[in-house]
Structure 1
Amino acid sequence: MTTSLLVGAGALGSVYAWRLDVTVVCRSNYEDVKRDGFCINSQIFGNSVYHPHRVVRTVNEAVADGQVYDFVIVCTKALPNRGDTSHIIAPAVQDPHTAVMLIQNGIGIEDPYAVRYPNNPIISTISYIDANQPSSGTVRHGTLTLLDMGLFNPTAANYDVKSVQSRVKEICQAWTTSGVETRISDNIQVSRWSKLVWNASFNTVSVVSGGNDTRQMLGSPECTELIRKMMVEVFKAGKAVTGSELTSLNNQTTPEGVIEVTDRLPTSTIPSMLMDFRAKRPLEYAVILRNPIELAKKHGVEVPHLETVYALLPMIEKGYLK
């Protein structure tokens, strides 16, 4: 039986933990979850109170009995602008057997983990999920569940790649059995850049525009044009960096297609960065804009609109993180 430890039991993490049943590290919501479990209202899975297999306060507590986990699943925000947090899982990544699965947004999120844990497989994973946590221990989930994953830099691996790939298939099967859609990608960086088409535009503009959802942003011709130009830059940069064409939301290959699909959604979308902005939490601008901008420049791609929005986001964040 596969054993997994999940760190970062927010809205996203709690839904994936629920469908896999793992040991969960809860920090700010430990007391609520330990006592009451997670109250999850899901459009696809129904309403349920999920009591994790085991709830702990820290990673140290999770390994105090000597448990070696097959997977350590990281669902925290990727915030290198706030410091390197890869050390948090260190007590659970002492054995080279343990694979580190990163379910996070952005580009370059794997690097600090690969440096700190050179002998452990890194499973880079992208999530497409509509979930939020309106209060501690209470989660609202829609219908999206997709996890798209692949080995990070397998050509430089010092472990048995085929063995790890087999284990990845096993955990995917466990999730699939419980209703989660999974996909294994041969080149996960293409998938990351493809998701970035939406994240680098709608996510970031939702904040710099003053706190607007997708319907409000697309209601402005000027804002829609800014979003389109940012998508053009991501498409170009992604192709230059990965060597492959990108296919974004619903397999769209153009900014116009992505915008149209977003505009046709039955309800307006509140981007995750807008949720963080409204809650006065740190923003993921480093992995969603800074890292992609740096890679674009290295590959000779000009991204002036991405640079402009990136210049504003740290200042906005600084205004409320005092």
Structure 2
Amino acid sequence: MPGAWMSVAKRMSRLCAGRTYEAVKKDGFHINSLAFGDEVYRPHNVVRTVAEAVADGEIYDFVINGIGIEDPYAARYPNNPIVSTVAYLDSSQPSSGTINHGVVTLLDMGLFSPKAANYDVSSVAARVEELGEMWRGQWQMLDSAECKALIRSLMVEIIKAGETVTGSKLVYLGGFEKPDDIINNTDMLPKPVTPSMLMDFRAKRPMEHAVILRNPIELAKRYGVEVPHLETVYALLTMVENRYLTQSKL
């Protein structure tokens, strides 16, 4: 994996904090991948803040965003392309600067609100496609029939909401045609996937449920789409998180 895109990533900066910053600044990322082998990736620049990233006048082609956080950036920078991105990687960071990766490497990318753009959409879209080409190459709850059914219901809700919000049929990650195909593919993975929220939970850190769950829920409500399963999972996650964060302060 690193060999395929490392050369095109030399101008990239990586935001890191605390011990991760020190480790990556000194030694880079040590990537252990079942799919692509082991290698060390050294970002062109490692910084702690956005201000530090642009302090030397560096110009960046893209800033990669999650879903549901684009509006403030679009309002402040109406002439700048914004790339919304969903990442699905079976990776974990067991220690600062060390990345363990399995076999899944999927990124779903697209321009945010291209109809309201003040730039050449076709040109930027082509560059985004080029970026995607450079990078091409689960919770293990599926043993439980009840959990598998819940996961499928969550997927159906988010797909319905996504298609309503965008006004078009969604392209499934990995070229799959329906939720059951994604679930079956996950069943066949050689090792469990440890998503970022699970890693945060185990470390008793704040979880990124706002971007992953709350923002899609709010978008669904805005467009009149009912998402009761997503709302239930979000309520349970925030309750659990609040409990352990409160206890850690005692």
TM-score, normalized by the shorter chain, greater than 0.5: yes
Question: Partners in 1 of 2:120 and 2:51 — Cα distance?
Answer: 28
CA distance in 2, matches of 1:109, 1:65: 27
Q: CA deviation at 1:140?
A: 1.6
**Counterpart in 1 of 2:245?**
321
Q: Does structure 1 residue 261 correspond to structure 2 residue 224? A: no
The whole-number CA distance in structure 2 between the counterparts of 1:23 and 1:227 is 35
- TM-score, structure 1 as length reference: 0.64
1:181 to 136, 139, 161: 136
**Corresponding residue for 2:44?**
53
Residues 247-275 of structure 1 show CA distances to partners (whole Å, capped at 9, x for unaligned) of 53544444433332322323332233212
Q: Which amino acid aligns with 1:129?
A: L
Q: Is the 8 A contact 1:18 1:52 kept in 2?
A: no
Query: Counterparts of 1:155-174 in structure 2 under 5 Å?
Result: 155-172=115-132
From 123, 126, 136, the counterpart of 2:86:
126
Cα distance, 1:234 vs structure 2: 2.5
Closer, same or farther: CA 225–16 of 1 in aligned 2, 3 Å: same
Unaligned ranges ≥5, structure 1: 1-14, 72-98, 183-201, 203-212
- Cα offsets for 1:81-101 (capped at 9, x unmatched): xxxxxxxxxxxxxxxxxx433
Match of 2:26 in 1: 35
Distance change in 2, residues 1:142/1:263 (3 Å): closer
SS at match of 2:63: strand
Native 8 Å contact 1:39 1:49 kept in 2 = yes
How big is the shift at 1:317?
0.9
**For 2:52 and 2:172, how far apart are their aligned partners in 1?**
40
The verdict on how the C-alpha distance between 1:277 and 1:171 changes in structure 2, with shifts beyond 3 A counting, is same
1:248 aligned partner, one-letter code: Y
TM-score where L is the length of structure 2? 0.80
Q: Structure 1 residues 313, 164: closer, same or farther in 2, change over 3 A?
A: same
Alignment gaps of 5+ in structure 2:
none
Matched, 1:224 2:214: no
Identity %: 60
Report the secondary structure of 1:218's partner residue: coil
- Structure 2 counterpart of 1:304: 228
Larger relative contact order (CA 8 Å, sep ≥ 6):
2
In the TM superposition, residue 136 of structure 1 has moved relative to its aligned partner by: 0.8
The corresponding residue for 1:186 is: none
Aligned CA distance change for structure 1 residues 54 and 250 (closer, same or farther; 3 Å): closer
Alpha-carbon distance in structure 2 between the residues aligned to 1:312 and 1:137: 31
Return closer, same or farther for 1:249/1:63 CA change in 2, 3 Å cut-off. Answer: closer
RMSD between aligned residues: 2.8
Judged with a 3 Å threshold, the aligned counterparts in structure 2 of structure 1 residues 43 and 220 are, in CA distance, closer, same or farther, namely closer
